């Protein structure tokens, strides 16, 4: 039997301990988001979010799609940290003023109402980032879409990133650009097509796709991938030189229902945005996924749930990182910090 020195056993023991610690840390990081995160600390949070969203829906049919979009626009910028909700301040340049969000992103008042209701029930517990995640799931389900267990436990960021917000996946992006932007945050082609299926409800302004209607290229006055009848309808809704803010249904078939009609629209060249139709353009690598979702709504719903969970896992702040904002529009202590800075500035001016 071979004999080993004490130094060997010490080295082996240390290696074992380090491996065990690494496994524990990995397990902890993977378990930081959980569908049961608030079961003890704020057990009614899901029902509160549902109640507030239903109240908003009573007076605004668009709000369900708008809330779902907010979650998307939040997660693609610095991860799912509620940064899209922050207003301008002395330290924050708001993402709300980014081109994809300005006069477009909406539902902030509903998020504020949800936050106020949640705070009344369990103060200082639930993050604004998690409220966005819960509101998106509720909105999809209320529109006829699937229901899923939302992973929770995110904390709120204390910074915003308008530069990244200006580089969100956009309505005029081609497929290669879309794939790169999704890949940059760890999402694949199935995630891309499934999340694009979120355009099965909601509206888009004429300015988002008017480039497809007039002077699309040197060789064509309109995007040749547009169904000619649909093109005429859109040109009537969005005349050249007209109001760029006029709203159009993203899904011309069932505009307020979450279903798979978005994908059958793509098959008949009736995708509203260029980024939509790109998924089914000639030779598109994503066309087979579109066909699959168009043929089977259940498959689309299952893939959409997986994609929403994947997107919700983009760089969340957990543990002691970030904070739980008391007001979703500003970081904690922002007013006090501003007051102190102004007092220091006034004092300096007086001394000068």
Compute CA distances 88 → 42, 73, 84, 93, 97, whole Å: 30, 17, 11, 5, 9
Tell me whether residue 264 is annotated as binding. no
Distance CA 37, CA 65 (A): 26
Q: Is 233 annotated as a binding residue?
A: no
81 is in an annotated binding site: yes
259 marked as part of a ligand binding site: yes
Q: Compute CA distances 309 → 78, 112, 137, 204, whole Å.
A: 16, 23, 10, 25
173 is annotated as contributing to ligand binding: no
Annotated catalytic, 244?
A: no
Residues 6 or more apart in contact with residue 174 via CB below 8 angstroms = 274, 275, 278
Residue ranges with strand state E in the chain? 203-205, 247-249
Instruction: State the maximum Cα–Cα separation within the chain, in Å, rounded to a whole number.
Output: 90
Question: Is 79 annotated to bind ligand?
Answer: yes
Closest alpha carbon to 81 in 91, 73, 89: 73
User: What element of type H or E holds 309?
Assistant: helix 297-312
Token pair listed for 314: 């983009």
Q: What are phi and psi of 204, to 5 degrees?
A: -140, 145
The verdict on whether residue 74 carries a ligand-binding annotation is: yes
Residue 29 assigned as binding residue: no
Q: Are 82 and 312 in contact (CB under 8 A)?
A: no
Q: Does 191 show up as a binding residue in the annotation?
A: no
User: Is 246 known to sit in a ligand binding site?
Assistant: no
HEC states along 130-186?
HHHHHHHHHHHHHCCCCCCCCCECCEECCCCCHHHHCCCCCCCCCHHHHHHHHHHCC
Out of 73, 96, 115, 261, the active site residue is 73
From residue 203, give the alpha-carbon distance in Å to each of 29, 70, 88: 38, 14, 26
Q: Which residues are catalytic?
A: 73
Q: Binding site for substrate: residue ranges?
A: 169
Q: Binding site: residue ranges?
A: 74, 77, 79, 81, 83, 95, 169, 199-200, 251, 254, 259
Q: Binding site for heme b: residue ranges?
A: 199
Q: Binding site for Ca(2+): residue ranges?
A: 74, 77, 79, 81, 83, 95, 200, 251, 254, 259
């Amino acid at each position: 039997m071979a004999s080993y020195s004490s130094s060997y056993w010490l080295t082996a023991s240390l290696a074992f301990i380090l491996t065990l610690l690494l496994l524990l840390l990995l397990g902890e990081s993977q378990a930081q988001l959980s569908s049961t995160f608030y079961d003890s600390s704020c057990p009614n949070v899901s029902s509160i979010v549902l109640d507030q969203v239903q109240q908003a829906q009573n007076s605004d049919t668009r709000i369900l799609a708008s809330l779902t979009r907010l979650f998307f626009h939040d997660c693609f910028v610095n991860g799912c940290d509620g940064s899209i909700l922050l207003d301008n301040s002395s330290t924050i340049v708001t993402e709300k003023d980014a081109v994809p969000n300005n006069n477009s992103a909406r539902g902030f008042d509903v998020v504020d109402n949800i936050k106020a209701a949640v705070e009344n029930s369990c103060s200082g517990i639930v993050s604004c980032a998690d409220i966005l995640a819960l509101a998106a799931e509720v909105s999809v389900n209320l529109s006829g879409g699937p229901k899923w267990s939302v992973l929770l436990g995110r904390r709120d960021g204390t910074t915003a990133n308008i530069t990244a917000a200006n580089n969100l996946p956009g309505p005029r992006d081609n497929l290669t650009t879309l794939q790169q932007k999704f890949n940059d945050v760890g999402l694949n082609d199935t995630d891309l097509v499934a999340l694009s299926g979120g355009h099965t409800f909601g509206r888009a302004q004429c300015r988002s796709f008017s480039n497809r209607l007039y002077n699309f290229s040197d060789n064509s006055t309109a995007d040749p991938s547009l169904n000619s009848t649909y093109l005429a309808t859109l040109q009537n809704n969005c005349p050249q030189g007209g109001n760029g803010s006029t709203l159009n249904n993203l899904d011309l078939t069932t505009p307020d229902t979450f279903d798979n009609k978005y994908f059958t629209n793509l098959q008949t060249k009736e995708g509203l945005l260029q980024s939509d139709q790109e998924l089914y353009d000639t030779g598109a690598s994503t066309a087979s996924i579109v066909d699959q979702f168009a043929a089977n709504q259940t498959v689309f719903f299952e893939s959409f749930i997986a994609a929403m969970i994947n997107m919700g896992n983009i760089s969340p702040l957990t543990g002691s990182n970030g904070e739980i904002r008391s007001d979703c529009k500003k970081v904690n202590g922002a007013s006090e910090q501003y007051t102190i800075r102004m007092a220091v500035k006034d004092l300096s001016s007086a001394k000068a």
